A and B are shown apart, each in its own frame.
Chain A
Amino acid sequence: MVRTLLWILAAVLLGGIVHLSTVLAMPQAAKQDAYSRLAPLTQVNTMVPLAATKAGAEIMPFMDPAFAAAVCRYDLSGGPLKLIAPVSQAYTSVTFYTRRSVAFYAINDRAAGRRTIELDLMTAAQHAQVPEDEEVTAADRLIIESPTAMGLIVLRALAPEPGLMPMARQALAAATCRI
């Protein structure tokens, strides 16, 4: 009797370990995550506008159809990345995701405070190499540290009414990201 109970206890403990390790391994094992879905549609270190979110043609689940979006799939192994995005009339935001879809930084046009959003994206090691005086003189230069060398930058511009969608798409078309 006691022996059976011990076996069951061992099973429950082991089950807990299996559960936790599968949850933790899921981001690495997932084949259909956002990065994998966007990889065939985008080029590395290039800003690519995404097709409009339409019923039956969604690239990712739960996308906001009121927004035009553009994606820069980055790889910082060649050096820091410079992102320049003109602000649309209504609302523009930039969100940075790691290779595993973790949104590590997001900023909107008002927080950026200018007509164009200008950001430098680099790894911690590249940031350490930026000369200190350069960082001070370029006070208006916003430096974002990426926890991973690869990831996604998603630029979103709101079309407050469906008729304003071409304007939102046009604002995104002028955005660039390059090494």
Chain B
Amino acid sequence: MRLLFGSCFTLLIAAALGLGATWLTLTRGVAFGALTIGAWKAWPKSGSADIDPYARAMVARTGELPTGMGDGVAFYARTDDVGNGFDGRCTFSISGMTPTARYWTVTLYTPEGRLVANTIDRHGFTSEEIVRDNDGRFSITVAPLARSGNWLPTGGIEQFVLVWRLYDTAIGVATRTAKEGPMPTVERKGC
């Protein structure tokens, strides 16, 4: 009787623990070997055959196709530099420099990776279309209401994700520090 009770209890706990851990790791986006520069995180290995099992499971679940290593690298940001979460009702400013790359794009998504509908059909910028200062620096304002300059509309959604993709770049698995790849700073300006 005791044995039966014990094994049932063990099996139940094991199933709850195992499935719970899987669900948590796959929905929260736990992946190993992240390259972190400021608020930006990239997983260059996810674009190669060396992709780790967690990233592999996550990609299969979401249905996305990771950026291949010979193509470029994608940096994800969900917060600003000091850790304030991206809220579409607030104003954020992105400015500074990018690592050397032939082209880059920055795109705003919902946490599920969908685009946010807006009247001007603006979902991001490419390195070619962005308006820069005389010294080559740029500033993007991510805000719910129209701004002058490089305005990226949030549509007022509760949470958003920014993805910075560098194409044809030396940034990748060998990159260790922010010195090699200066990513733009992200700052909350107001809510």
Query: Which residues does A use to contact B, with CB under 8 Å?
Result: 3, 7-8, 10-19, 21-24, 26-27, 29-30, 32-34, 36-37, 53-56, 58, 60-67, 90-91, 93, 95-97, 100-108, 110-111, 147, 152, 154, 156, 158-162
Asked if residues A14 and B129 are in contact (CB atoms below 8 Å), the reply is no
B103–A106 contact, CB under 8 A? no
Given the interface pairs A15-B21, A66-B124, A91-B102, the reply to whether A55 lies near B117 with Cβ below 8 Å is yes
CA distance A103 to B16 in the complex (A): 33
Closest chain B residue to A152 by CB distance?
B65
**B6 on the A face (CB < 8 A):** yes
Docked pose: A36 CA to B105 CA in angstroms:
27
Please tell me if the beta carbons of A58 and B114 are within 8 angstroms of each other in the complex: yes
Residue B97 at the A interface, CB < 8 A? no
How many B residues touch A, CB cutoff 8 Å?
Answer: 62
Distance, CA A111 to CA B124, complexed state (A)? 27
Residue of B74, B105, B109 touching A66 (CB-CB under 8 A): B105
Min distance, Cβ A5 to any Cβ of chain B, angstroms: 12
What separation, in Å, do the CA atoms of A60 and B107 have in the docked complex? 15
> Is there an interface contact between A95 and B71, defined as CB atoms closer than 8 Å?
yes
Q: Could you tell me if A104 and B16 are in contact, using CB atoms closer than 8 angstroms?
A: no
Residues of B within 8 A of A34 (CB): 59, 63-65
Interface residues of B in 106-129 (CB under 8 A from A): 107, 109, 112-118, 121, 123-124, 126-129
Report how many A-B pairs have Cβ atoms within 8 Å.
207
| B128 CB contacts on chain A under 8 angstroms | 90, 160-161
Main SS at interface, chain A? mixed
Q: Per a CB cutoff under 8 Å, which of B22, B65, B129, B168 touches A97?
A: B65
Q: Which single residue of chain A is at the shortest CB-CB distance from B108?
A: A65
B151 → chain A closest CB, angstroms:
15
Closest-CB distance, A99 to chain B (whole angstroms): 10
Determine the residue in chain B with the shortest Cβ distance to A98: B49
| A61 close to B56 (CB less than 8 A) | no
CB of A25 to closest CB in B, whole Å? 8
Identify the closest chain A residue to B168 (Cβ): A108
Best-surrounded residue of A10, A15, A32, A104 (most CB of chain B within 10 A): A15
Nearest 9 A/B pairs, CB to CB: A18-B18, A106-B68, A61-B113, A15-B17, A14-B14, A106-B70, A26-B57, A160-B128, A95-B68
> Knowing that A27-B60, A30-B60, A107-B70 are A-B contacts, what are 18 other residue pairs whose CB atoms are under 8 Å apart, sorted by A's residue number?
A3-B6, A8-B13, A11-B9, A11-B17, A14-B14, A22-B22, A34-B65, A55-B116, A56-B117, A58-B115, A60-B113, A63-B113, A103-B51, A105-B70, A154-B65, A160-B127, A160-B129, A162-B129
Interfacial residues of chain B within 51-99, with CB under 8 A of chain A in the complex: 51, 53-54, 56-57, 59-72, 74
Judging by beta carbons under 8 Å apart, are B10 and A7 in contact? yes
When the two chains form their complex, are residues A30 and B17 in contact, meaning their CB atoms are under 8 A apart? no
Contacts of B175 in A (CB 8 A): none
CA gap between A111 and B70 in the complex, in Å: 9
B103 partner residues in chain A, CB cutoff 8 A? 90-91, 158, 160
**B121 surroundings in chain A (CB, below 8 A):** 162
Minimum Cβ distance to chain A for residue B41 (Å): 14
When distances are taken between beta carbons in the complex, the residues of chain A under 8 Å from B127 are 160
Q: B151-171: contact bitstring with A at CB < 8 Å (1 yes, 0 no)?
A: 000000000000101011000
Residue of A nearest to B12 (CB): A11
